[in-house]
Amino acid sequence: MTALQAQTVPVPMLDVDLEFLDIVTEWDVSTPHHRWKPAIVVPATFRPADLSRVIVVANQKGGVGKTITALELAMAYVARGLRVRLIDADPQKAALTHWLRETCYPADGSTRYTLRHVYFGKATLAQATYPTIYQGLYFVPSDPDLDDVEMAGPDKVLSPETLLRDSLRAEAADWDVTVIDSGPRLGRITISALVAAHDAVIAIQDGGLEVAGTGSVVTTIGSLRERLNPDLKVRAIFFTDFKKEKLPRKIGHAMHKAFPDALIVPARESTQAGWASLARKPLRVHTPGEKPTLDYDRAADLLIAPRQKAS
């Protein structure tokens, strides 16, 4: 792992008196709109996973909140004292890399490796992993040329579907949680991320087109479970920028029926998310008490057993 400036920003736990969402087993769609309150759906059969977990955030559509979901989940685990690696596997916008780019440059001015170098055998995953200024958070950046992996022949990229999984397994003991932000294209890189993961988290917004984009991801997950990753499960559906309106509630209810074993998490809307991105700070650091920060924080505890790692 490449050396960088000392990590200087501790990420504290949130105040327990903040406005966290309630937990229910199902949304009640019959309650009148003015009386209905958003809540996180936790199926009766749902159990938190143990540590050393790999989570991939996916959907076959851009602009649905995958990046903020990946970043805020990672920050929630960092606040619990865990060692977290965040991987930008989106070659199109590299939005996560833009968000964190000023926190992960090598201190000595040497070449900054990216995920592309890993796929092309120019660096190991450890060499492309950089500490950030946030204590406990480490980052693997992307770049637009990562898309070259999609067209590269076998002489350039060996076993692209399983390369990321094999790299993560080789270093599993070093990490408590790995979060992968995948792109909207269901090509080699997204498939590689799904093959590497234990848990798939699907980020959607409340419009019909955004929801329709989940179909291809779910079909791909089913295929990969048969071929390469029998343990992969859809563990959560995140409604990003959630609004208390009739359509989101109906879609959330339908998603619960389609994924009865998954969390349904309404990450409430916030005007601060865009400002946090412009400031190149996680929302949790930029505006700690914002409602979506609370929603990602509570979901993090539900996905992985809520305990702090001993220091």
Q: Which of 243, 161, 191, 193 is nearest to 70 (CA)?
A: 193
**What's the predicted TM-score (pTM) here?**
0.93
pLDDT band at 95 (very low <50, low <70, confident <90, very high): confident
Q: What is the CATH number of domain 50-303?
A: 3.40.50.300
Taking only the tens place, the pLDDT of each residue in 51-93 is 999 999 998 766 788 999 999 999 999 999 999 999 999 987 6
* Domain parsing of the chain, residue ranges: 50-303
Taking only the tens place, the pLDDT of each residue in 164-216 is 999 999 999 999 999 999 988 888 999 999 999 999 999 988 655 556 667 77
Q: How far is CA 246 from CA 9, 37, 170, 212, 214, in A?
A: 40, 12, 47, 18, 20
CA Rg value for the chain? 19
Taking only the tens place, the pLDDT of each residue in 115-163 is 999 999 999 999 999 999 999 999 999 988 888 998 888 888 888 999 9
pLDDT band at 100 (very low <50, low <70, confident <90, very high): confident
Taking only the tens place, the pLDDT of each residue in 166-180 is 999 999 999 999 999
